[in-house]
Structure 1
Amino acid sequence: MANGKSMTVGEMVGLFLKDDAPVRVDAFDGSHFGAADAALKVRITSPNCMYQLLAHPNEIGIVRAYVLGDFDVEGIDYADPYPAMRAMVSMAKYVKPVTPVSMARVTAGILSHGFRRPPVPATEGPSKFARIKEGLLPHTEKADSETVSFHYDMSNEFYADFLGPSMTYTCAVFENEDMSLEDAQANKLRLILDKLGLQPGQRLLDIGCGWGSMVIAAARRGVRALGVTLSKEQAAYANEWIEREGLADLAEVRVQDYREVPERDFDGISSIGMMEHVGVKNYRSYFEEMFKLLKPMGRLLNHQITISHDKPDGKPGTDEFLDRYIFPDGDLGAPGFIESCIHDAGFNVVHQENLRQHYALTLHHWNHNLSEHWEDAVRQVGFERAKVWGLYMAACALNFELDGIQIHQFLAVRPDRAGHPDGKWYPLRPWWKA
C-alpha cells in the first residue's frame, strides 16, 4: 500500500529498478515507470503478469507472462527476441537489492485486488515432480522415449523452417563469421568424420542421430552407418532421405534406444548433441556402453553442451524453463567431469576443444531462419510454441556469449592393451584439418 491506496504497477517496478534505469514500462493500469524516450520499452498488458510473478518470482513467472502476451517488449521479433534480451541483460546494474520489505509491499499491492490463479500456457509441460509422480523416472527408457517425443515429434517441417536444408540440430563449425550456416554444418560433419578417421567399408554408429545428416555424410564417404533415435518423426525423415540419396545399402536409421543396439565392434561412434538427454549421473555408464560397442582402437567422438562451472551444490542439471518447455530431464555437466567419465570408462582421451562461439553463431542463424519462415512455423506448431522456440534459441545464444554454457568435442580411443610397437595406433599429433 502507498499513501493508503493500492500500489500502481509503475510504483511496484520502482521498488526494484533505480530511477535512472534506461527503460520505459507502461502498464495496463495506466501507470508508468521511466522516461518516455527510453530505447527499451516494456508493456505489462494484463494483471495476469503480476499474478504470474507473484506465484513464480523466477524465470517461469516471466516466461509464462511473455508466452501468453501479458508481458511484451515494443518492436520485439518473436522469432528472434535476442536484441530485446540483450537490452534487458544490460539493465542488471540498475536493479535494486530485493528486500523482505519490498517483496511484502508488492505482494500486498497485488493481493489487494484479490487472489487470482494465473493461466498456464498450453505449451508448458509437467514439472519434474509431476513426471515422477506419473512413473516417468528420469533417464529410464520409458521416460527418455516420452521426453524425446515431447521435443522432437512436433513437425519435421517446423524444424526445417529454422534448421534449413541440412536438418542438423547441433552446433555448426564456422571458418569465419561470414560462412553460411549450410557450409558451417557441412564443415562440422566433415570435422567429426575426419577426427574419427573412418575409411570406406568401416562401420559407424551415430547415437541420437536426429534427421540423419551424420549418417548421410558418412555413407557418402562409403562408410557403413547406423543411426539410432527415439523419435519416430526423425527416423521416418532420415530413412526417406537415405532412399532419395540412393544410400540404402550403406545407411540405416532405427527407432531404438542406444542401450538396445545388438551389434558390436563398430569402428567409430558419434554422439552429437545426445548427452544432454542422458543425465549426468549416467555419464559413466553411457561411456562404458560406448566402450563395449567399439572394437579395440575404435574411436568415439562426443559432442555436447556443457556448463562453464560446476554448480555450487555439486548437482548438475538444467533450468526450469528448459525442463518444462524444451528438454524435460535435460542435464548438463562440466567439461572436466565429462572427460573424467570418458577416461574412467576405459578410453584414452586424445583431444578436446571448446566451440562456444560457434554455437552462438549457429543459434543466430536459426533465429534468423525462424524469422524468415515465421508464418509457416506458426502454421506447423501454433503461435505459442513458435514463440517459445524463438525465446529458447535467443536465450541460448545469449548464454553462450556470456559463457554461462559452452560446447565441447571430445575424441577418445578404445585402447588395445596388446600395444603396437610398429606404431599402428593413431598419429602422434591431430591428423585432421582444423
Structure 2
Amino acid sequence: MAPTDMVGALRRRYDSFFASRRPVPFAVIDTAGGEHHFGPGAPEFTIVVRDPRGARALAGLDQFAVVVAYLQGWLDVDGDLAAALRIREFFTDRHPMARYSGLFTGLLRGRREDDRRAISHHYDAESEFFLTFLDTRHRCYTEGVFLADDERLEDAMTRKMDMALEAIEVKPGDRVLEVGGGWGAFAEHAARRGVEVTTTTLSRESERYLTGLFEREGLDVRVVRQHIFGFRDERRYDAIVNMGVTEHLPDYRRTLRTYAELLKPGGHVYLDALAMRRKHVASAFMKRYIYPGRSAPLLLHQYLRQVARSPFELCSIADDRHNYYLTCREWARRLDAARDDITQRWGEAMYRQFQIFLWGSAAGFDTGLVQAYRWVLRLP
C-alpha cells in the first residue's frame, strides 16, 4: 500500500471526526520514514508503521485491526499511549460477532461452564505475571480508594480493605463468604483480624496460589473452586464480599437470590464493579483477548431494579470512577517499568496485550466512557 493511501484515509477521517471535537494532534511515520502530521500543534503521540500490514490496518480505520497490528509489532506508538487510547473511537469497532459470541457460547456450554472458561482465559496466566503490576501489599485486582492522586497504591488498597470490613460490620469469629478470591487480598486482610473466610474461585491457578499463600501464612481460610451459583453451605454467612466479580455475573436476579440463600438475616454484602451505560459495548479487543464469554460491565440501573425486587436493602453507593482511573494508571506504569522482565518471561505479545488493556482502561475511566461503583446491601 502506498503511504498516500493510508495518509489520505487518515486525513479524511481526521477532518470528520474532529469537526465537532477538540482536535488532538498526532503524527504517523510510514515505512519509508516519511512523517505526516495531523491536527494543529505538536503531536501528542506518534504512530510508527513497522510493516505494510500496519499501514493497511490504519488505512482501513478499523479499531480491532489496528490493535492486532500493534500486538503483532506492525505498529508502535511513541509518546503518550494513553492519549492515543483516549481517542480510540477515531477508529470504528464494528465486530458484532466478537462482542456477542459470548452470549451464544454461554447457551451452548451452559452458564457455569462458560463462566469457568472465561475466568480461566484471563486468570490462569501465571500469578507471577499479575504480581509484576499489582500492589505489593495486598495483590488486589480491583480499584483502591485514594485520598490524593499521588497516594501510593498500597495505601489506597489498605484503605479499601478496611472500608470493606467496616461496611459489612463483622467481628472476630464471624464468617464471611468471598466471591472470587483473586490473589487473596481481602481474605488475608480479614483472616488476620480473626474473621473466618471462605473464598471461591473458578481458576485453577488462583486456587493453587491461594492455597499455598494461606498455608504459608498459617491463616484459616477455606478455598473452594466452585461457581457461586452451585455453592452451598450448612451454615449461613454473616457477610458476603464481592470485589470486581459482578461483571462476571450478569444475571443480577439470580445472583441476588443466591446471596439471600447464603446470608444470615441482618447480614451485609459489599460489592464493587466497573460499569457502563449499555451492557454489550465492550470492544472487540476486550472480548477477544481479555474477557471472552458472557462477562459484561455492570449496568447500575438494571442492577438496582433487581435489588428493588429482591429482599435486600441498599445501604450505600459511591462513585469509584476516579479511584479506578488512578488504579489502572498505576498498574500500567508498573507494567511498563517491568517490561524487560515481562517480555523475557512471557513474551512481547503478552506485554503489549496488557499494556493496551491497562492504559486503555485508565483512558476509559478518565474520559467517562467507563464508570465504577461500590455499594453495600443488607438482608433485613
What band does the TM-score fall into relative to the shorter chain? 0.7 to 0.9
Residue 328 (structure 1) aligned to one of 285, 289, 292? 292
Which structure would you say has the larger Rg? 1
Offset of 1:252 from its aligned partner? Answer: 1.3
Matches within 5 A, 1:307-346: 307=276, 310-311=277-278, 315-329=279-293, 330-346=295-311
Q: Which amino acid aligns with 1:320?
A: A
> What residue in structure 1 maps to residue 11 of structure 2?
14
Please say if residues 86 and 363 of structure 2, whose CA atoms lie closer than 8 Å, have aligned partners that are also in contact. Answer: no
Distance 1:362 1:139, change over 3 A: farther
1:170 aligns with 2:142: yes
Q: Find the aligned partners of 2:351 and 2:359 in 1 and give their Cα distance.
A: 12
Partner of 1:413: 378
* Secondary structure of the corresponding residue to residue 131 of structure 2: helix
| Structure 2 CA distance for partners of 1:334 and 1:9, relative to 1, 3 Å | same
Partner secondary structure for residue 13 of structure 2: coil
- Please list every run of 5 or more consecutive structure 2 residues that lacks an aligned counterpart in the other structure: none
Distance 1:139 1:401 in 2: 36
* Contact 2:10–2:59 (Cα < 8 Å) also in 1: no
Equivalence for 1:273: 244
Letter of the aligned partner of 1:42 in structure 2? Answer: I
1:62 counterpart = 2:66: yes
8 A Cα contact 2:67 2:285, kept in partner: yes
Q: How many residues align?
A: 365
CA apart distance, 1:405? 1.3
What secondary structure does 2:200 align onto? strand
Q: How much identity, in percent, do the aligned residues show?
A: 26
Asked if the contact 1:269/1:300 (under 8 Å) is kept, the reply is yes
Query: Could you tell me how far 1:332 is from its partner in structure 2?
Result: 1.5
Checking the alignment, whether the CA contact within 8 Å between 1:172 and 1:188 is kept in structure 2 is yes
TM-score by length of structure 2 reads 0.87
Out of 116, 121, 128, the residue aligned to residue 145 of structure 1 is 116
Name the residue aligned to 1:72: 76
**How many Å separate the matches in 2 of 1:367 and 1:12?**
31
The aligned counterpart of 2:228 is 258
Unaligned 5+ runs, structure 1 = 76-82, 99-125, 416-434
Q: Distance in 1 between matches of 2:42 and 2:209?
A: 50
Hey, which of these two has a bigger chunk of helix by percent? 2
Partner of 2:49: 44
Q: Do residues 303 (structure 1) and 272 (structure 2) align?
A: yes
Q: Is the 8 A contact 1:11 1:33 kept in 2?
A: no
Two-structure CA RMSD over aligned residues (Å): 2.9
Letter in 1 for 2:379: R
Using the alignment, how far apart are the partners of 1:186 and 1:88 within structure 2?
Answer: 30
- Match of 2:264, SS state, is strand
Counterpart position of 1:25 = 28
Asked if structure 2 preserves the Cα contact closer than 8 Å seen for 1:155 and 1:380, the reply is no
Q: Which residue of 2 aligns with 1:291?
A: 260
**Residues 1:200 and 2:172 are matched in the alignment:** yes
Whether the 8 Å CA contact 2:119–2:202 is kept in 1: the answer is: yes
Q: Which residue of 2 aligns with 1:226?
A: 198
Alignment of 1:78-93 (within 5 A): 83-86=80-83, 89=86
Distance 1:89 1:304, change over 3 A: closer
CA distance in 1, matches of 2:73, 2:144: 33
- Residue 361 of structure 1 aligns to a residue in which SS? helix
Listed one character per residue, the Cα deviations across residues 382-407 of structure 1 (whole Å, up to 9, x for unaligned) are 21011110111111111111111111
